[in-house]
Amino acid sequence: MAEEQTALELRHVTKLYAGTVALEDVSLTIRRGEVHGLIGKNGAGKSTLVGIISGLVAPSSGEIWINGQKYTSLSPITAKHQRISIITQEPQVIEESTVMENFFMPGYLDNKKVIDWSEMRRRAAEILDQAGFPIDVSVKMRNLSISER
């Protein structure tokens, strides 16, 4: 029953950079519906851990389990398909693009060769509506306040 509720699990994950231990034997279980925060001093490995979970960093050893499937490392595309994304402390947006374009970059809705702008607008508006953010998805990012970005 507990395994059915586990969305993400790290088992004995270690990351070495040229002889420097960034993470050592980290294990973590996140169940469906849980929210977690990472707190620690600079250099504690928070960014490395998030990088491993999001597919930006490959672990040196250990296992990553997502919805019962085992991985030795993830790619950003695999993480995205598994519905893993990062919300960074500093907004990383393209100011000259719209809210909806920033939502779906770089794939623009599953890498279609023809962009369905109305579908993109609908999906972005739906996401913002579910989150309770009444923002026009066709607005350029540069026209939003920092907190709205």
* Separation of alpha carbons 141 and 98, rounded Å: 6
Q: Pick 86 or 55 by higher pLDDT.
A: 55
Q: Is 120 left (phi over 0), alpha (psi -120 to 50) or beta?
A: alpha
User: For the chain, what are the domain ranges?
Assistant: 2-81, 99-143
- Whole-model pTM: value is 0.64
2-81 has CATH 3.30.70.100 classification: no
pLDDT of residue 107: 64
pLDDT recorded at residue 73: 93
CA 44, chain centre distance (Å): 20
pLDDT per residue as tens digits for the range 17-70: 998 999 999 999 999 988 888 888 988 999 999 999 999 999 999 999 999 999
Which tops the pLDDT comparison, 7 or 113? 7
Which helix or strand (DSSP H or E) is residue 104 part of? helix 99-104
Task: Evaluate if residue 1 carries a pLDDT over 50.
Answer: no
pLDDT category of residue 80 using cuts at 50, 70 and 90: confident
DSSP 69: E
> pLDDT at position 143, please?
94
Task: Provide DSSP, 40-65.
Answer: --TTSSHHHHHHHHHTSS--SEEEEE
